[in-house]
Chain A
Amino acid sequence: MITFIVRRLLTGLVLLAAITTLGFTLLYLGGGDIARKILGENADEQTVALKAQELGLDRPVFAQYGDWVVNALGGDLGASWFSGQPVAAAILSRLAVTLSLVTGAVVLIAIISVTLGVLAATKREWIDRVAQVIALLGFAIPNFLFAVALVLLFALTLGWFDPTGYVQFTTSPSGWAKTVTLPVVALALGGIAAITQQVRGSVIDALRNDYVRTLRSRGIPARRVILKHVLRNAAGPALAVLAVYFVGLMGGAVIVEQVFAIPGLGQVAVQATTQGDIPLVMGLLVATGIIVIVFNLLVDLAQGWLNPKVRLS
C-alpha cells in the first residue's frame, strides 16, 4: 500500500516537473519583450534594459528556470511583476475560496449522481428519462450560461441568494451559504450529467453480474444487494470518470467565479493573463497541478479501498 502511494506521488511529481518546465519555457520564450510590456511604450531603452536585468530576464532561459525551481522548492514562487506581491501568498489567499467551491461541487455531484444513477438503473421508467434529460442539458449547456440563468432566476427575480460577492464562512455561515450555493450548483451541473450517466451504466453492468443472483438466492433483500454490493462494484468506474472530470471542474471554477464576482483563483488567473504577469501564471499552473494530482491520489486510494484487486497491483 505504501509503495503504491509513493509510486503515485512520484508519478505526480514527474508530471508536475514536466508541466512547469513546459510552461516556463513557453511563457518566457514566447512572451516577447517582457520588460517593455511592464514599463509601457513610453519608457526609454535604458530603463527597459535595467528592468530586464532586475528581473533576470537577460540571462539564458534555462538559468532562469533553474533559479525558479530552486526557489519554488523552498516555497518561493517569485513576486508578481505588477503588484510586487509574492506569488505564493497571492495564490494561497484565494485558494480556500476556489477549493470550497470545487469541494462543494464534488460533494453535490457525488450525492445527486449516485442517487439518480442508481434509481435510473434500477427503476428505469420515468426517472430514467429525467436522468437522460439532465445528462443532455448538463452536457450541452456550458456552466457559465447555466450560472447566468441561475443568477437571473434565483438572485435577481426571486432574491433567495446574493447575485455576486463572497462572504467568508468564519464571518457569517449563513452569508457564506447565500453566496456560495448558486456557484456550486452552476459548477456541479456538468459533473452531475456525466457522473449520473456513468453510475447508471456501471450499476446496470454490475447488476448483470452472477454474484447478484447468488447473493439474492441467499435471502439478502434486493435493495440491500444493490446498496451494498452492486454500488460498491459500480463505484470504481464512476470514480474514474470523476477524477477526469475534476480537472474540468477546476477550469469551470475560473469562469463561474467571474460570473459571481467571487475573489478566487479565477480572478487571479484572468488578471494575470490579461496583464501578462508570468510569475503569477506559473504559480497558477503549479497550484492547479498540485490540486489535480492530490485529488487523483485520493481517488486512487478510494479505488484501492473499493476494489481489493487494485491493492495488490
Chain B
Amino acid sequence: MTNLAHSTDPQIVTAPQETAKVSLFRRILRNPMALGSLTFLAVAVFCAAFAQFLAPHDPNTSVISNVLSPAGGENPLGTDGAGRDVLSRLLYGAQFSLAGALVALATALVIGVTGGLLAGYFGKWIDTGWTWVISLLMALPNIIVLLAARAVVGPSLWAAMLIFGIMLSPAFFRLVYASVSAVRNELYVDAARVSGLSDSRIIARHVLTVVRAPIVIQSAIVGGIALAVQSGLEFLGLGDIKVPTWGAMLSDGFTNLYTAPTLILWPALAIGLTLIALTLLANSLRDELERSTGPRKQNRRKPTKPQPEAAAEDIVRHDEREPEGEIVLDVSHLSVGYPTPDGGIKRVVNDVSLTVRRGEVHGLVGESGSGKTQTAWSILRLLPEGGKIVGGSIHFQGKDLATLSEQEMEKLRGRKIAYIPQEPMSNLDPAFTIGSQLVEPMRICLKISAREARERALALLARVGIPNPERTFAAYPHEVSGGMAQRVLIAGAISCNPDLLIADEPTTALDVTVQAEVLDLLRDLQSEFQMAVILVTHNFGVVADLCDRVSVMRLGRIVETGPTRSIFADPRHPYTQELLGAILSEAEPRGPLVTAGAPGQPVSTRSASNQKGAVQ
C-alpha cells in the first residue's frame, strides 16, 4: 500500500506506459510479418500518392479501337473492356480505393472514439442511448443500408464511405467505452481528479494512453472492412463510373470474365493483398501487445507462483514404529515440471516420496505454491497443460501411475482413485444438473443402468447430509450453496467406492461453520469405507483434526514427515516451526479479534500466511 502516494502523481503513472509503447513500436519493426505488411502498405500508399506521376495514361480515357488488348507495348498490363489502360487504373485505383477506405475509417474513428470517451467517462445515460443506436446499426446488413443510401444520394464513393463509417463506429465505441469505464473508477484517476486536473486532461493523460494501442489494431481491421465493402459495392456495378477504383476494375473484369480472365486478376490481387497485409498487421500488433503485457496474464494462469527451487536438503523424519496395514500408494522421488519459455523445465515438485496405507489419512501441508496440489494432481495424472512428471514413480496397486497409458489411467480414475477439489462452485459443470453429473460417471465406471445410477445418486446425496436429495438432484449448480456443492462433490468422489481419495483443500472455500461439518463428514466416510486419503491443506487445524501422518512441503520438496502427534509435539524443521508458530501466536493474546469466528474452529490460514509474511 506504500505506492498509494505515488499514484497521485500522473508523471509516474504514465511513464511506464510510455516506455511500453515505444518498445512495442520497436518490436513491431523487428517482427517480420508486421514489417512485411507495413512495407506492402507503404508501397500501396506511395502508388496512391503519386499515381499522377506513375501512371502512363489517364485512367478514364477509353480508346474504342483498343478494347481488351493484351499486355505489352503502350499498355504494360493491357486494356480493359472500355479500352482503358489497366496499369493506370490500378495506380489511380489505389488512390481512390484507399482514400475511400480512409474516409470510412476517419468517420468511424471520430464518432466512435469521441462517443466512447464521453459515454465511458461521463456516465450511464449516454450509454443507454448509444446501446440503442448500436443495436439499430447492427440489425441491418451494411450492404443493404448502403444500397438504400445509394437509392437516395446516387452513386458516390465518398457518400457511401461516409455512411459506412458511421455504421462502423460501434467497433471503436465499444472498445473505448469498455476501457474508459474500467479506468474511470481506478484509484489513480480519482487521485488525479482530487488533485485538481481537469476532465479533459485526465482523459488525455490516463484514458487515451490505455486505448491507444487497441485503437491502432482496430483501425487496421476496420480499414480492411471498409475496403472490402467498398469493393463489393463497386463490384455490383453500383459505383460512380467516373471514379477509377479497384472495385470498379473488378466489376469490369467480371463482365469480361469469359473473354479476358486476367483482367480480374490485378484488382483482385491488389484488394486481396491489401486486406491480408492489414489483417497480418493487426494480428502481429495484437500478439506483440499481448506479449508486452503477457507476464502478468501468465501468472494468473500458471498453477504455481514462480518461486526459487529449493536446494536439496535432508528431510526431517520422525522415528516411528513400522505402521500396520497394506500400502495403497507409494510415491517415490516424484518430480513434476513445466516447460519454461527458454526451453528448460521448471520443477515445481522435487524428489517427493510418501506412502499411504489403507485407512490412513496423510496430510500434505504447506503454503500456496509449495507443490502440494501439483503432487496431488500428478497422482491423478491430471496436471494442467504443459505439466509433466519428469522423474520418480507412483506405485498404486501394482501399477506405476507415472508411466501408465492414458487408457489404463482412465480405468483407474473414479473407480480406484477419487478426487475432491478445493473450490466447490467452479468444479461443477454449470450447464448440467447436479444429478446428471453424478449419474454420468457411475454409468461409465460401474456400468449400471440409468435408473440404478439415479437411485444410487439419491442415496449418496442423502448419505452426505443433503436434506432434500430429490430437489438437489434436479438442481443446477448455481441453485445450491457452496457447502451443498462441496457435499455433492464428496458424494461424487465416493460414488464408485475408491480405494484412494485425494482431497485438495476440501474446506478452504467454505464458511467456518460449514468447514467443521464437511470435515466431520470426511472423517465418517473415511472410516466407513476404510479409504486411504491424501489430504492437501495449508491448515494445521485440519491436520490435527483428521490426519494420521503429515508431510510438510516447502518450495516443491518435503522438508519434514512423520506421525501427526509427533510433529505437533516436536516440530524440528524451522519451516514447520514457523507454520505451527503462526497458528499458536494467533490463538493467544488478541482474543477479541479472533473470537469473531467460532472459537476452537480451524484457524483461517490466510491470516497465518500473512503473519508469516510479517515475520520474514
Residues of chain A having any CB pair with chain B under 8 Å: 15, 18-19, 22-23, 26-27, 30-31, 136-137, 139-142, 144-145, 148, 151-152, 156, 207-211, 213-222, 224, 229, 232-233, 244, 247-252, 254-255, 258-259, 269-270, 272-274, 276-278, 281, 284-285, 288-289, 292-293, 306-309
Contacts and interface: CB of A to CB of B under 8 A. Distances in A.
Interface string B4-35: 00000000000000000000000000000000
Q: Which 8 A-B pairs have CB atoms at the shortest separation, nearest pair first?
A: A219-B414, A251-B141, A218-B441, A251-B143, A217-B419, A30-B152, A140-B275, A218-B414
Contacts of A22: 136
A213 B414 CA distance: 12
A234 to B, nearest CB: 10
Determine which residue in A30, A148, A208, A209 has the highest number of CB atoms from chain B within 10 A of its CB, and name it: A148
Given A22-B136, A210-B426, A216 B279 contact: no
Contact of B147 (A220, A229, A270): A270
B418 interface: yes
A255 B382 contact: no
Contact of A148 (B254, B413, B489): B254
8 contacts: A15-B136, A27-B152, A140-B279, A145-B272, A213-B380, A217-B419, A229-B431, A244-B138
Nearest to A288: B144
Contacts of A254: 141, 143-144, 147, 236
A69 to B, nearest CB: 18
A215 B152 contact: no
Given A254-B147, A270-B236, A276-B151, A148 B410 contact: no
B428 interface: yes
A307 B430 contact: yes
Contact of A217 (B231, B278, B414, B432): B414
Interface string B305-316: 000000000000
Given A139-B279, A247-B141, A216 B431 contact: no
B301 interface: yes
Nearest to B278: A140
Contacts of A18: 132, 136
Given A215-B429, A250-B141, 19 more contacts: A22-B136, A23-B148, A26-B148, A26-B152, A27-B151, A136-B283, A137-B276, A139-B275, A139-B279, A142-B231, A152-B261, A214-B489, A215-B441, A217-B382, A218-B445, A247-B139, A270-B238, A272-B151, A289-B140
B492 interface: yes
Contacts of A292: 139-141
Interface string B482-516: 00000001001101100000000000000000000
A151 B152 CA distance: 33
Contacts of A255: 143, 232, 235-236
Contact of B444 (A26, A207, A214, A220): A220
B148 A281 contact: yes
A208 B298 CA distance: 13
A115 to B, nearest CB: 20
Contact of B413 (A156, A208, A218): A218
Interface string B356-395: 0000000000000000000001001010010000000000
B3 interface: no
B271 interface: yes
A254 B229 CA distance: 12
Contacts of B426: 209-211
B312 to A, nearest CB: 30
Given A217-B414, A218-B492, A273 B382 contact: no
A215 B489 CA distance: 10
Contacts of A15: 135-136, 139
B142 interface: yes
A94 to B, nearest CB: 14
Given A19-B140, A30-B153, A215-B429, A273 B419 contact: no
A215 B148 contact: no
Among A151, A244, A270, chain B packs the most CB atoms within 10 A around the CB of A270
Contacts of A285: 140, 144, 148
Contacts of A210: 421, 423, 426-427
Interface in B94-140: 132, 135-136, 138-140
A273 B147 contact: yes
B415 interface: yes
A217 B147 contact: no
Given A218-B441, A220-B441, A309 B280 contact: no
A91 B310 CA distance: 75
A219 B143 contact: no
B411 interface: yes
Nearest to A278: B151
B482 to A, nearest CB: 13
Contacts of A148: 254, 257, 264, 268
B144 A216 contact: no
Contacts of B257: 148, 151-152
Contacts of B427: 210-211, 213-214
A140 B231 CA distance: 13
Q: Which of B132, B139, B228 has the most CB of A within 10 A?
A: B139
B571 interface: no
A41 B66 CA distance: 34
Given A19-B140, A140-B276, A145-B272, A219 B441 contact: yes
Instruction: Identify which of A140, A148, A232 gathers the most chain B CB atoms within 10 Å of its CB.
Output: A140
B224 interface: yes
Contact of B275 (A142, A207, A278): A142
Interface string B172-202: 0000000000000000000000000000000
A278 B280 CA distance: 41
B573 interface: no
Contacts of A30: 152-153
Contacts of B276: 136-137, 140-141
A140 B224 contact: yes
Nearest to A255: B232
B462 to A, nearest CB: 20
Contacts of A224: 444
Nearest to A212: B429
Contacts of A277: 151
B245 interface: no
Contacts of A221: 410, 444
A136 B280 contact: yes
B440 interface: yes
B150 interface: yes
Given A140-B279, A218-B441, A229 B429 contact: yes
Nearest to B377: A213
Contact of B410 (A136, A139, A219, A281): A219
A152 to B, nearest CB: 7
Nearest to A248: B141
Given A30-B153, A31-B152, A145-B271, A269 B232 contact: no
A258 B236 contact: yes
A219 B411 contact: yes
Contacts of A278: 151
Nearest to B269: A145
B576 interface: no
Contacts of B279: 136, 139-140
